[in-house]
Copies of this chain bind each other. A is one copy, B any other.
Amino acid sequence: MHERIASPAFFIGKGDETLISFGSGQPDLPPPPAAYKVLEHFKSFKYGLVQGEESLRSAIAKEYPFAEPEDFVITNGASEAIDLAMRAIAQDAPGSKVLLPRPYYYSYPHNVSLAWMIPVYTDLENGKLSFERFVRDVEGCRAMLINSPSNPTGTVQDIEVLKKIESYCEERGIYIVSDEVYKDLIYVRENYLLHGKRVITINSFSKTYAMCGLRVGYLYTKDREVIERAVEMKSHTSMNTSLVGQAMALAAMGERDAYVASHAKIWRERRDLMYRGMLDLGLDLWEPEGAFYVLPKFKNPERSMHDLYYNYKIITYNGEWFGAPDRLRFSYALDTDKIHEGLRRVKEFLGKEYATY
């Protein structure tokens, strides 16, 4: 009898040579060399500004139109940025409802609950937000969380719909937390930056610069009250983000253009391989438009995940963890050889156990 797989944490540390992991959502290629180079002369050790180093905030501000360094808080990855945003929103209104598009990134409902608010859902239609459905579901919500490009759907939301949601929320004072950590990984168009008085943009160095383990992210907002609350909270809950991480992040930004461009090619090749491969296997999935995930339908996804892992040495994530109980999530942050071999094994599985489900 095999051990039951209850969450993504099950797979941590389960790495051997023959295993192919479509599990964890992190780039496999290293960060820009400058990120390591800066360590040679790194000598800081005293507390830094809780809001984040001025030099890093200034550099990031240049990437956003009309942004100022004061509009940013540097955080321990996007995760802390979301946590601070949620806690700032909940501060004078615990028990508020927060709308999450479903399927969602698996931490989101926890982020809402951990701030003592209540997650409610608006179901995507073919991976896309429907404005009509949104209007119905956002009723009574204090905030909404949007993640485009999306983990786990791999889809990108239509700009027209995003703009309508923006206006609707702006008029009613609903906060939009816009998690745009995959903004530099879009295959179908430029990123659309959501904006407005109560928009809180979340981003990080984890995906764009492959710095997941170094934990540098940020929140950006024109809402000064949110900035003040976030900085005040962070001064009690973690103080400044690691200065050595911030130094690496700033150095990485210096190589941004060449790095992002060279990686875009690699990601597109992987995406095409993965998407075509899955179509060839007869799987039903949305076309991946951004990030590095596909979310195909499976009969009995939990059993499929178990069989794929124990019998084919393939890691996939149960769609149920993301609010998609009829699907499996595959990350394609893998070199093409591994994707080929992974698809071959999935094909074998589909022809054997799966055919009997």
A residues adjacent to B (C-beta < 8 A): 9, 12-13, 24, 26, 28, 30-31, 36, 39-40, 42-50, 76-77, 79-80, 83, 87, 94, 107, 110-111, 114, 116, 210-216, 232-233, 235-245, 248
B79 and A236 form a contact (CB under 8 A): yes
A212 CB contact (under 8 Å) in B28, B47, B83: B47
Indicate if the CB atoms of B42 and A9 lie closer than 8 Å: no
CB distance from A269 to the nearest CB of B (A): 21
Q: Which of B24, B46, B214 contacts A242 (CB 8 A)?
A: B214
Question: Which applies to chain A's interface (DSSP): helix, strand, loop or mixed?
Answer: loop
- How far apart sit A311 and B307, CA to CA, in the bound complex (Å)? 74
Residues A213 and B114 in contact, CB atoms below 8 Å apart: no
Please determine whether B238 and A79 come into contact, CB atoms closer than 8 angstroms: yes
How many copies of this chain?
A: 2
| Cβ contact of A77, chosen from B42, B44, B116, B238, cutoff 8 A | B238
Select A114's contact among B47, B77, B87, B212, beta carbons within 8 Å.
B87
**B107–A236 contact, CB under 8 A?**
yes
CB distance from A70 to the nearest CB of B (A): 13
Docked-complex contact A31 and B12, CB < 8 angstroms: no
B235 with A215: CB separation less than 8 A: no
B residues in contact with A77, CB < 8 Å: 238-239
- Whether the Cβ atoms of A241 and B214 lie closer than 8 Å is no
Interchain CA distance A39-B244 in the complex, whole Å: 10
User: Which of chain B's residues have a CB closer than 8 A to the CB of A239?
Assistant: 76-77, 79, 212, 215
Q: Quick check: B76 and A45 within 8 Å, CB to CB? A: no
CB–CB B79/A237 < 8 A: yes
Contact between B87 and A116, CB atoms less than 8 A apart: no
Q: List 23 A-B contacts (CB under 8 A).
A: A9-B50, A9-B235, A12-B49, A13-B49, A26-B47, A30-B43, A39-B244, A40-B40, A44-B213, A45-B212, A46-B212, A48-B213, A76-B80, A77-B238, A79-B236, A110-B232, A114-B237, A212-B239, A213-B243, A215-B238, A215-B241, A244-B244, A244-B248
